[in-house]
Structure 1
Amino acid sequence: MLNILNVVTKDKTYPIYIERGIISKSAEIIKDLYSGKRIGIVSDSNVNGIYGDEFSKDLENAGFEPFTVEVEPGEKSKSLSVYERVCTKLLEGGITRSDMIIALGGGVIGDLAGFAAATLLRGVRFIQVPTSLIAQIDSSVGGKVAVNLEIGKNLIGNFYQPEAVIIDPNVLSTLEDRFFSDGMAEVIKYACIKDRELFEKLEKLNIDSVKECMDYIIMTCCSIKRDIVQIDEKDKGERMLLNFGHTFGHVVEKYFGYSKYTHGEGVGLGMVHMTRKGENMDIVAPGTSDRIQGLLERYNLPVEYPQMESKVVEDTLRLDKKSSSNDINLIMIEAIGKGYIKKIRKNNLKQFI
Structure 2
Amino acid sequence: MKTVFSPRHAGHSGNLELMAGEILPAFEKPSRAEIIRKRIDAVDLGPVSEPDAHDLSTAKKVHDPAFIDFLPTVYPEWEKSGRSGTAMPYTWPVRGLRGDVPPAAIEAKLGFYSFDAGATFVKGTWDAIKSSHDTALTAAALVKAGERAAFALCRPPGHHAGSNFMGGYCFINNAAVAAQRFLDTGATRVSILDVDYHHGNGTQQMFYERSDVQVVNLHGDPMQEYPYFLGHADEKGASEGEGFNHNFPMPWGTDFAQWKAALDAGCDLVADYRPDVLIVSLGVDTFERDPISQFKLKSDDYPEIGRRIAELGLPTLFVMEGGYAVDEIGINAVGVLTGFEGR
Larger RCO (CA under 8 A, 6+ residues apart)? 2
Give TM-score scaled by structure 2 length: 0.31
Higher fraction of helix: 1
Higher fraction of strand: 1
